Structure 1
């Protein structure tokens, strides 16, 4: 850099001028002289700086991206925890003492698989007693039937009165009612005996089982849970801006850190119509294809909901945007010279963003090195 040029007055001339002036004039003269010197220094410095800038021949290495029309899937991303769509409690329907645990946590079950057994002896005795009562009522009813039929025959020959016939008919109806009651009691006793075996109502696996052999259990109080790993789902929360994009049945890609190299297909099954957390998020339920049984309830997954597809659009990597710029700014390369372009942004798939205007098909877009560029600087593509 050339040193600033300072114009100096000769010392004799300066002394002569000061000797011929009053004190007040001397002070004013000195101030004016210093100001003039500063102006000269500033102008000289700016001139040298402009000379340096105009001579900037740096070459900035950059990486470029060839802008071409493409199809872009627009997505909304969210995170949630897998849960079973089909699950039910393990609940005994009769009281008693647990005498056997046939299945435990983690064991697979089918419809009708016995999970635990309650002491059947009291219910077996009750069933036998009900059976005896039913048989007795059946014999009594058959006897009253025969008596009534005989009474009808005697009535035709007028060997018995009408009142006696009606009494026999009443006995027959009463015996039939007793038989029906005894039959119901017998069937109930049979059912209670069957219910001493607590079985699974669905296909799945035992997720929880909080019971010990010898423990007294009561009807209606859950002892554990069965879940289905085939029918699983995840509920995610979306913002009010994203919930309006949702349509039942749209495609979802599910990923998890447990299987980083794989993705699982999903479908939006239910869309919440009311916001949670004071309206900040809206629930969306996604069913997941888990035919291989790899995903388990409780796993954390990422859902990429594909809500639209745009064809023949100009989309660029998000990282190509210049950091810290007040307006969206991209750099393209023409004849090894960087050119800044203010652009209008469109929708994004999370990784790429659609450019509505500002660049054209075929442009060489800078995707690395753009944050140190300015207009007209030379670049080298690597």
Structure 2
């Protein structure tokens, strides 16, 4: 009997200990939960107003300096060069004579054309009078009108040929090359002078294919020349070639 009682007391003590242990654990969890509550965090926020701005992009490209205008001049008439007015490197202004062909034959043709015109004007006036009097038919009057118009056209042609015997500058600039000499026989279209305008300059640049989209007409550029080291020259893109150069 005593042994059984001892066992019961042991069971009671074990049960009591278990209850106390469970209670203690529950109290610890509540304490932990109360201390693990998240803290309130404050974030500083700055407000900025975005303003539009321009992006400057630089590309370094080799360029070739070119005259603003350049032209090779030729006589429209053939003949012997009688006079040379302008030489190499001389400055010229618009319509200034550069050289002149021997125009003796053209002057004679002009005198002949003028005399023919006067004669046809007289014939036309006389035919008009006679036709009004009924002395000549309509056909003869029309023939006189035709001859008068042809004489006027011949005179105009000779005057134009005389003008073409003088080679003049189409714009102000400088003579970059003189290709003829006094006494030389030239044919129509023979190059005589090369004229350039250099008070303004233009530059040509080859742009790689993968950069062409970065350029547009009217965009600002700066150009540097070896003759003026470190000195920028402002300009704008005048045009972009419509096709790529296969050899580049």
Fold match (TM-score > 0.5):
yes
Distance in 1, Cα, partners of 2:200 & 2:129: 60
Counterpart residue number, 1:88 = 71
Match of 1:205?
174
What's the counterpart of residue 15 of structure 2? none
Alignment-derived partner of residue 262 in structure 1? 231
Q: RMSD over aligned Cα, in angstroms?
A: 1.7
Structure 2 distance, partners of 1:197, 1:72, is 54
Note if contact 1:100-1:117 (Cα within 8 Å) is conserved in structure 2. yes
Aligned equivalent of 1:219, options 155, 180, 188: 188
State the alpha-carbon separation in 1 of the partners of residues 78 and 70 from structure 2.
23
Aligned equivalents of 1:87 and 1:275: distance in 2?
A: 24
Flag the structure with higher helix content. Answer: 2
Query: C-alpha displacement at 1:273, in angstroms?
Result: 3.5
**Cα offset, 1:87, TM superposition:** 2.0
Q: Aligned-pair distance for 1:275?
A: 2.2
Runs of 4+ in 1 over 3 A off after TM superposition: none
Q: Is there any run of 5+ residues in structure 1 with no aligned partner, and where?
A: 1-70, 152-164, 282-382
Q: 1:179 aligns with which of 148, 170, 192?
A: 148
Residue from 128, 134, 148 that aligns with 1:145: 128
**Equivalent residue runs for 1:1-382 within 5 Å:** 73-151=56-134, 167-278=136-247, 281=248
Q: Give the secondary-structure state (helix, strand or coil) at the position aligned to 2:57.
A: strand
Taking structure 2 as the reference length, what is the TM-score of the superposition?
Answer: 0.74
| CA distances 1:104-140 after superposition (whole Å, capped 9, x unpaired) | 1211112210000111111100100111111111111
What secondary structure, in the 3-state scheme, does the structure 1 residue paired with 2:156 have? helix
Aligned length: 195
- Give the secondary structure class of the aligned counterpart of 1:174: helix
Distance 2:199 2:57 in 1: 29
Distance 1:243 1:182 in 2: 60
How far 1:85 moved relative to its partner? 3.5
Secondary structure of the 1:265 match is strand
Q: Is the 8 A contact 1:83 1:233 kept in 2?
A: yes
Q: Contact (CA 8 Å) 1:144, 1:168: kept in 2 or not?
A: no
CA contact (8 A) 1:254 1:266 kept: yes
TM-score relative to the length of structure 1: 0.49
Any gaps of 5 or more consecutive residues in structure 2? 1-53
**Cα distance change, pair 72–149 in 1 and its aligned pair in 2 (3 A):** closer
In 2, the alpha carbon distance for the partners of 1:190 and 1:272 equals: 42
The answer (yes or no) to whether the contact 1:118–1:197 under 8 Å persists in 2 is yes
Instruction: Label 1:137 to 1:72 Cα distance change in 2 as closer, same or farther (>3 A).
Output: closer
Supply the distance in 2 between the matched residues of 1:226 and 1:256 (Cα, whole angstroms).
22
Which protein shows a greater Rg?
2
Give the conservation status (yes or no) of the 8 Å contact 1:252–1:267: yes
